[in-house]
Structure 1
Amino acid sequence: MATVVPTSAQQARADALREALATRVVVADGAMGTMLQAQDPSLEDFQQLEGCNEVLNVTRPDIVRSVHEAYFAVGVDCVETNTFGANYWALGEYDISER
């Protein structure tokens, strides 16, 4: 198995996160799905897969970015992209598990 070596930028971010975790309370984002839905994406944005927030990463990265920016604006330390349902079984409910 090949060893993956992080870039210097990735290493710097990882080091900064470890330092923050060791020295203070780190706040992560909250309700990603709720925030995405509040942007009122269209059925076209969902590629006709209503409620499949993971599709918005492809079709409307601007919406995903705006949610991240909103969390950072209020002092959140960490955000994640809406991948809670980005797995074989959840995407299978939309018949797109291969994606």
Structure 2
Amino acid sequence: YVKIHADDPMGLERKDWQANPKQIAPYVKKWGFNARKDIEQTQTGITWFKPINDQHELYAMAYLGNRQVTQYQSIPQGQVVVENGKPVYTGQKSPKHAG
């Protein structure tokens, strides 16, 4: 069983990473990003072999596993500015499309 939680360092400089590999870049929290990844994995397996003679054998193996991955990306939300009483989305052209 493996359970991993990792924060995305988002452009952490090498010297900072060497000082503390688990830290994140200082601007990440300031800008409101919370990019991270959580992984849970279980795996088990079994092998079986039966010698037939000195030169041959039967061999079988089976594995079973499960992995759950949750990842949060660092996609900024668009800013909403009100001009002439109407909202203007400045982060992207359309609030329903990332481009």
**What TM-score range do you get, normalising by the shorter chain?**
under 0.3
Bigger strand fraction: 2
Higher RCO structure, 1 or 2 (CA under 8 Å, sep 6+): 1
Task: Identify, as 1 or 2, the structure richer in helix.
Answer: 1
Q: TM-score, normalised by structure 1?
A: 0.24
TM-score w.r.t. the length of structure 2 is 0.24
Structure possessing the higher radius of gyration over alpha carbons: 2
